[in-house]
Structure 1
């Protein structure tokens, strides 16, 4: 049996601990320790029994372990022959174990996967202003796809290896690599590994409301300025999530029920909303832009002077003022002030043209 090797201390990188756990590196390290111990026993045995020098003992140990059969430096005593006989037998077992462990890591793709995880860890360390999605179930995966479609950098946090293997395989088929942190999202170390201090937003879509409360509480403590959106199944969990630090709470079941009812009572409105959300056949896109993001020569002009619709085809459907109030379908004569936010509606091509012409 290989010696018991303790895992790395908590101060070591989250990914190194994850690799240690997933790939059972204690077997690999144990095999190396056994090999080194075997070499030390051989050197010590030759020096003690045969009175060899260190260099001669090292040479005899290596040719004995490798079984190359170069011959003895000096004739061995009966005790030395007995030692060599036992030593060869046990070293053959140690070498067989070492080769079996190496074969497992090489041919089962273990080394390749470990290097991919380390590369993934380094990429996440370079992220900033990204979005963290905790939980890669139906809601988390949908949020991930929408965020990636909008060009955001996203880090997924998921504990269930089976879910990750299935979804990562799907994304690999689409030639897209998912930045993943494997671990419990309720733990500080896991969120730190996902770069929560540098992230701009976090979505927690775990199956249990209690876990989402813990994630919101932990993320708010680690990153006071981060935007947190949480999923909830029960209405009673909404206030708990808000108190824990969530900025917004989404209840998919409630939204789904309202959506189905409105399909009966207001079907055309829902179809239009589906187009905005990207579910309809003709996708529309909502976009926002702060007045400070406008080109310098366009700032301080009224909506009429900006002439957004004729120049790009998009429509200004709303204006959020710095005070927090909304103006729906603002008048063409309104001059947006600093801190105001435009809300635009248009097709994907129209929005891209808008950003090219108006954003500084």
Structure 2
């Protein structure tokens, strides 16, 4: 992916923040501009007095704007460039109260904006997007921070691989923040089935190597796989699908690795019962570095009773 597209992605996240600021602060800003324009224009037209107290012409647009500017922020430089006339002083009284009210109203709106959930989410998204697109090494996107997603994150961390986590449940993300990793992974609280969320998570980054859809919803996993295949065909996809129909449908896009957890676990369980030594060898070969050898076990031979006859 060209560097220009990466910069556009960063700028897009910041644009959302500025859009919220401008939308929320549009009226306060217009109110302040209107107050300054009226106060400056009126002060520039009111006649003044000279040093001897005689009538003099108005102070002019520049001097009026200068006086209104420091009056609206400090109120403390006195009457410059010379003593004011009574009319000018009356106008300055109105200017003082108008600018104070305008700035107070604007500050209240700024504080309210900082406390809005939408603005906080936009800020977190902008910071997260900037952090993700600053990664200069291969990384993976893990969608879903459940039990499986947690194990995958620890596995990637043990292999010294960077990863980004997308999870809609804030409680799961809170638990993930308490986990110990070599590097703190970027965490995104959003619905990964939305293409914009995957894009902000670094899907179109040249350093993204794969996406793992591990949520409990087959439709969301399928949406993640489809979005990845359309936006970043070069990125590998691993999707957990329980529904065989969805598994067949998702294979149309090619290159996707679809894992049916029921089928995979059933095969491993059957292998552990019928060929325990082969199962132990397999677990040893695919284990992570530093893990201990699996304990040998000898399941009882003979007939078994299966309780339950559902899909699993």
Q: Which residue among 157, 170, 189 is the counterpart of 2:178?
A: 170
SS at match of 1:52: coil
2:262 and 2:108 map into 1 onto residues whose CA distance is 51
Q: Provide the residue aligned with 2:99 in structure 1.
A: 91
- How many pairs were matched up? 269
Q: Report the counterpart of residue 336 of structure 1 in structure 2.
A: none
Structure number with the bigger relative contact order (C-alpha 8 A, sep ≥ 6) is: 2
What SS does the corresponding residue of 2:178 show, helix, strand or coil? Answer: helix
- Residue by residue over 1:238-292, the C-alpha shift from the partner in whole angstroms, topping out at 9 and shown as x without a partner, is 11121234521122344456656766666676666666546x97257xxxxxxxx
Question: For residues 212 and 158 of structure 2, what CA distance do their matches in structure 1 show?
Answer: 16
Structure 1 106/20 Cα, relative in aligned 2: closer, same or farther at 3 Å?
A: closer
TM-superposed CA distance for 1:125, in Å, is 4.3
User: Which residue of structure 1 aligns with residue 292 of structure 2?
Assistant: 282
Cα separation, partners in 2 of 1:224 and 1:59, compared to 1, 3 Å: closer
Decide whether aligned partners of structure 1 residues 185 and 90 sit closer, same or farther in structure 2, where only a CA change above 3 A counts. Answer: same
C-alpha distance in structure 2 between counterparts of 1:107 and 1:222, whole Å = 34
C-alpha RMSD over aligned residues = 4.3
**Partner Cα distance (1:207, 1:19) in 2:** 32
Instruction: Say if 1:253 and 1:118 are closer, same or farther in 2 by CA, change over 3 A.
Output: same
- What residue ranges of structure 1 are gaps of 5+ in the alignment? 1-9, 285-360
Matched, 1:16 2:26: no
Counterpart mapping for 1:152-163 below 5 A:
152-158=161-167, 160=168, 162-163=170-171
In structure 1, how many angstroms separate the alpha carbons of the residues matched to 2:41 and 2:26?
22
Q: TM-score normalized by structure 1?
A: 0.57
- TM-score relative to the length of structure 2: 0.64
The corresponding residue for 1:252 is 261
SS in 2 for 1:136: coil
Aligned to 1:331: none
Matched, 1:144 2:141: no
Contact 1:216 1:245 survives alignment (8 Å)? no
Distance in 2, Cα, partners of 1:24 & 1:162: 25
Match of 1:43 among 32, 40, 43: 40
Shift of 1:154: 1.7
Q: 1-side partners of 2:171 and 2:22: how far apart?
A: 23
1:240 aligned to 2:242? Answer: no
Q: Tell me the CA shift for residue 192 of structure 1.
A: 3.4
Aligned counterpart for 2:77 among listed residues 70, 76, 89: 70
- SS for the counterpart of 1:282 is coil
How far apart, CA to CA, are the structure 2 residues paired with 1:283 and 1:44? Answer: 84
| Secondary structure, counterpart of 1:200 in structure 2 | strand
Structure-1 separation of matches of 2:254 and 2:108: 50
Residue 38 and residue 145 in structure 1: after superposition, are their counterparts in 2 closer, same or farther (change >3 A)? farther
**Contact 2:143-2:192 at 8 Å conserved across structures:** yes
Residue 209 to residue 271, structure 1, CA distance change in 2 (3 Å)? same
| Gap runs ≥5 in structure 2 | 1-7, 48-57, 295-312
User: Deviation per CA, 1:37-70, whole angstroms, max 9, x where unpaired?
Assistant: 5434432332244543223112321342135333
Query: Which residue matches 2:232?
Result: 223
Aligned equivalents of 2:155, 2:267: Cα separation in 1: 22
Gap change, CA 1:181 and 1:18, over 3 Å in 2: farther
